[in-house]
């Protein structure tokens, strides 16, 4: 499927507001990719598809996870996590995306994971800081993004983890692994300075 066709199809599956968010993630992901040396074409396609099934019924998202061997532990955690893993499956099976880097960036855009690739980081961070986002702390994330992908993403995950703690929700283990992984990377970087 051509890029424009994918865009129209994705757009038709979400409310206009979520499509505006998607456009913001695309623009931001491409800019971050150019700044930090990721592939902007891959960042663009991952961004277009990252929330493709965010507005599908949750029982449909759960069915995709159950029937296609996706991580079953997701079903024990917040439903907000499901659309990312289900979305990667949809990108592969319904949109013919076969690039594993792009599929991973979609798959881990919500939870993160221990060893995030450059493209994972770019898409996840773009999702946090696209121009339409307005939450306490987003300004700090945008400032950090000027000089460090890892610092900016760490600020993003810290905010999400705090939010979950305050709501007395469980944190998906991959999110903790993602945060730990970023700290290891930042410490290694600082030790070299």
Q: Closer CB to ligand DGI, residue 21 or residue 188? A: 21
Using the rule CB under 6 A, is 80 a contact of ligand DGI?
yes
Using the rule CB under 6 A, is 104 a contact of ligand DGI?
no
Using the rule CB under 6 A, is 185 a contact of ligand DGI?
no
Using the rule CB under 5 A, is 120 a contact of Fe ion?
no
Using the rule CB under 6 A, is 110 a contact of ligand DGI?
yes
CB of 79 to ligand DGI, least distance (A): 8
Residue-wise DSSP of the chain: --HHHHHHHHHTTS-HHHHHHHHHHHHHHHHHHHHHT--HHHHHHHHHHTTTTTTS-HHHHHHHHHHTT--GGGGGS-GGGHHHHHHHHHHHHHH----HHHHHHHHTTTT--TT--HHHHHHHHHHHHSTT---TTHHHHHHHHTT-HHHHHHHHHHHHHHHHHHTT----HHHHHHHHHHHHHHHHHHHH-
Using the rule CB under 6 A, is 164 a contact of ligand DGI?
yes
Tell me which of 28, 61, 144, 160 binds ligand DGI, using CB under 6 A. 160
Using the rule CB under 5 A, is 39 a contact of Fe ion?
no
CB of 66 to ligand DGI, least distance (A): 19
């Amino acid at each position: 499927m051509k890029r424009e066709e994918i865009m129209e199809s994705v757009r038709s599956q979400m409310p206009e507001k979520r499509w505006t968010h998607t456009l913001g993630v695309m623009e931001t992901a491409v800019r971050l990719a150019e700044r930090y040396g990721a592939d902007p074409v891959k960042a663009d396609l991952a961004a277009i598809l990252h929330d493709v099934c965010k507005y599908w019924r949750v029982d449909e998202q759960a069915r995709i996870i159950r029937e296609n061997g996706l991580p079953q532990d997701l079903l024990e955690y917040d439903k907000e996590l499901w659309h990312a893993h289900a979305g990667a499956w949809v990108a592969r099976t319904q949109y013919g995306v076969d690039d594993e880097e792009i599929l991973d960036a979609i798959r881990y855009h919500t939870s993160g994971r221990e060893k995030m690739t450059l493209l994972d980081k770019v898409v996840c961070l773009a999702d946090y800081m696209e121009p339409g986002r307005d939450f306490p702390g987003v300004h700090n994330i945008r400032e950090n993004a000027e000089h460090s992908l890892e610092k900016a993403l760490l600020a993003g995950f810290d905010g999400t983890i705090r939010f979950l703690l305050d709501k007395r929700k469980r944190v998906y283990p991959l999110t903790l692994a993602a945060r730990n992984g970023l700290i290891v990377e930042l410490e290694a970087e600082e030790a070299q300075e």
